[in-house]
Structure 1
């Protein structure tokens, strides 16, 4: 040795390239990388779990009132309309713009736009109607009732009218009112043009 300096030997190269003990650098680095991978896996799992509520909320955000009404089946539901009236019955049919409720005797056509509250619904939702179902607007339902020529009672935001439905336009229906009293000979019955937007319920007579 010269000046107390340690001589460099081949054995030093061999020793430096060999695996170190449990607490050596090589093992520590492996542990560090293994820990890093574990953290990444844990983070991915946490993100996935965190995303579950978001997916659930996104699914719930697609649920419509019409879908829940369809899922009600034969159970009785109660709809509150703008006039404050409560309309109850089982769901007979549902479209985007209306719902038909009924019991063993009567039927009630309720425009979706007039509903301010509903109770008796399950959390479940039935699949939405197809294109044809979506095209069956309130006018289609009113035309069906007009063809039936049956007596109806129409609840509007301004009061009630009784009579039969006649001509149905694009945004209104003519209602031939029941006379309040005897009419003079040759006097025509009163006809009201009722806007769709004013109708709360159409009850069967």
Structure 2
């Protein structure tokens, strides 16, 4: 009888150790999977949702996430600096994001288009923009050309369309210094 209880006790201890090992393995695999989730995956899961972003050189902006590319995101402005406007933000310029659901879409077919493609659309549409840089400065004008690592911005009066006679100057802006492009 004592041998029976001893064997049962050893068997129970063995089962407890196996459960503990399995729980530890599951926890480790979960941590490893979480380690593969990027901010882009989380943003992709929240397309269409309102977010609050802290953008380097700009501060906090709020809006609904309406677009996502490989290195940018597009907000449809709610309040603050982007109220009623579209804001194109470089993901590298994000300091913090509030309002993420906690979900991740690792299979998302986010736009494979990079920042240059999004900027080309602004250039093609000839819209006035405000470029915010990571140091907190901004320039306004029309994007004339989108090049490999920078863009050319023609500065002109706010109340005039972009015409050669209205251009007061041109500024080349490296993408690495851009934080946000606000469509005016």
1:139 equivalenced with 2:116 (yes/no): yes
**Gaps (5+ residues) in structure 2?**
79-83
Is the alpha carbon distance of 1:58 and 1:174 closer, same or farther for their aligned partners in structure 2, counting shifts above 3 Å?
same
Q: Counterparts of 1:1-205 in structure 2 under 5 Å?
A: 22=1, 28=3, 35-103=9-77, 105-130=84-109, 133-134=111-112, 136-158=113-135, 159-179=137-157, 189-205=168-184
Deviation at 1:114, TM superposition (A): 0.6
- CA RMSD, 1 decimal: 2.7
- Post-superposition offset of 1:54: 1.8
**1:186 CA drift (Å):** 6.0
Q: Secondary structure at the match of 2:48?
A: coil
Deviation of residue 180 (structure 1)?
8.2
Query: 2:99, 2:116 → 1: CA distance?
Result: 27
Q: Provide the C-alpha distance between the structure 2 equivalents of 1:115 and 1:129, rounded to a whole number of angstroms.
A: 20
Moved over 6 A (4+): none
Deviations 1:178-203 (A, max 9, x none): 24899xx9685311110001111100
Q: Which one has a larger percent strand, Structure 1 or Structure 2? A: 2
What is the total number of aligned residue pairs between the two structures? 175
Q: 1:121 aligns to what SS in structure 2?
A: coil
Larger relative CO (CA 8 A, sep 6+): 1 or 2?
Answer: 2
| Counterpart Cα distance in 1 of 2:31 and 2:121 | 38
TM-score, normalised by the number of residues in structure 2: 0.81
d(CA) in 1 for partners of 2:166, 2:55: 35
TM-score, length-normalised on structure 1? Answer: 0.74
